[in-house]
Amino acid sequence: MLRDLPLSGVVVVELSDSASAPFAGRILAALGAEVWKVERPSGDSARGWGPSEWKGSGAAYHGLNRGKRAICIDIKDREQLATLHRLIAEHADVFLHNLRPGSSAQYGLDADSLRVTKPELVYCEIGAFGHLGPMNTLPGYDPLMQAFSGIMSITGEDGQAPVRAGVSIVDFGSGLWAAVGILAALYRRQVKHCGATVNGSLLETALAWMTVNVANYSADGDTGGRHGSGVAFIVPHRAYSATDGHLIVSAANDALFGKLCAALGRPEWALDDRFATNAGRLKNRTEIDRLIGERMATDSRAAWQAKLQAAGVPVAPIQTTAEVLDHAQTHALGIIETPSDDEIGLVGLPLSFDGKRAPPLHAARDIGADNPSLDTLLNTSR
């Protein structure tokens, strides 16, 4: 088990709500940072998210806030705001927040104000539409950005209503990019002895996820369209129905397509001029998908998975949450962490160092549970 984690000794003050900044803070905590999670008196919005609940708060809150100290500060109260300023000035290496755009300066929590007393501070702000432009002061949430960025225009089935991704990819992605930026800024501070301002946003993250689609559109004006479980630029690369469920089959190049055809018992498809190349398969997507679908519908998921894996064709069943948590591969990775017998299992850091995974983070704490520890810390540092 790792004991000396990469961010051991780094102190992060996280003034956050909902998902993006809390996810960034959890990444930093899993890497060894001491994260002070600051909540308003009514608590983080995620404490009220349903439908699942654990120990009086939404299960989502526990998923996003394990491994952090929990303090309650009302930044609208002058004395409590002064306490937060002291914590940042005297102890923080990093200040992370996702306050409503433009509101940080109102409380003296903008980068310029905080750097007057602490020039080496790494300051990270996660906004909605970004820190520049005509929409920079507007609030925003994950589904708005999936819509605005074009993600929803290429998600779902052709001819059907737009759908969003089933997980909050923009929120979590924004938290991940924030953590990347913070790590880069900490490295620069170590080398150049200066602070940094890291600006990230939900919209910029959503646009980053559109990288390939933007490249395609820039090249030929193709906006992509919706392809259900498939993609615009590779065929076959989608789900097919077996007798007892669905599998994703990915023949991402012509050689793999040949292996797929052989495993399906139809080697002649790989020699057909319509299907021999990916360019041909793109033009004849409907026909090759129909042929593969008819063949896949003749046997079970397990049978096809065994045949395709033996042939070297990438394949995976579409599993429920219960199925993936029960799978031997998930167990072997040890990524579902449970810090104690009375806690729920949650996903840990998806990284290992020198072959070892970081130890489980302690459970998310009640609102203000660490306020006494904060008082002790600030009284000791007077």
pLDDT 10s digits, 223-235: 888 999 999 899 9
Distances (CA, A) of 119 to 72, 81, 82, 370: 26, 20, 18, 27
Query: Do 132 and 15 lie in a common domain?
Result: yes
Determine if the pTM surpasses 0.95. Answer: no
Mean pLDDT of the chain: 95
Q: Is 355 exposed, middle or buried (0-12, 13-18, 19+ CB in 10 A)?
A: exposed
Query: Do 87 and 174 lie in a common domain?
Result: yes
Within 13 Å of residue 118, how many CA atoms lie on the same side as its CB?
22
pLDDT at position 1, please?
Answer: 45
Share of the chain above pLDDT 90, in %: 94
Question: What does the alpha-carbon distance between residue 211 and residue 207 come to, in Å, rounded to a whole number?
Answer: 7
pLDDT at position 151, please?
Answer: 96
Distances (CA, A) of 80 to 40, 72, 111, 173, 375: 11, 9, 19, 32, 11
pLDDT at position 102, please?
Answer: 84
Task: Say whether 342 is catalytic.
Answer: no
Query: Do 75 and 186 lie in a common domain?
Result: yes
Two tokens at 231? 């993609």
Tell me the pLDDT tens digit for each residue of 98-123: 999 889 999 999 999 999 999 999 99
Two tokens at 306? 């065994």
Residue 136: pLDDT over 70: yes
Sequence-distant (6+) residues with CB within 8 A of 219 are: none
Q: What average pLDDT does range 259-273 have in this prediction?
A: 98
Dihedral pair phi/psi, residue 90, rounded to 5°: -95, -20
Query: Do 187 and 312 lie in a common domain?
Result: no
Q: Which ranges of the chain does DSSP label H, i.e. alpha helix?
A: 20-30, 59-65, 78-91, 111-117, 142-148, 169-192, 202-209, 211-220, 254-263, 278-283, 285-296, 301-310, 321-326, 328-333, 371-380
pLDDT at position 3, please?
Answer: 61
Domain end marker among 318, 347, 363: 318
Query: Do 26 and 155 lie in a common domain?
Result: yes
Q: Are strands 346-347 and 336-337 parallel, antiparallel or unpaired?
A: antiparallel
Range of the domain at 275: 237-318
| Active-site option among 17, 44, 171, 289 | 171
Kindly report the CATH number assigned to the domain that includes residue 311. 3.30.1540.10
Task: Let me know if residue 24 belongs to a domain.
Answer: yes
Question: Under a CB-based contact definition with an 8 Å cutoff, are residues 172 and 208 in contact?
Answer: no
Question: What does the alpha-carbon distance between residue 91 and residue 95 come to, in Å, rounded to a whole number?
Answer: 10
pLDDT at position 4, please?
Answer: 83
pLDDT at position 16, please?
Answer: 97
215: Cα separation from own chain's centroid:
23
pLDDT at position 224, please?
Answer: 84
Dihedral pair phi/psi, residue 150, rounded to 5°: 100, -5
What number of helices (H) and strands (E) belong to the chain?
Answer: 15, 15
State the total domains in the chain: 2
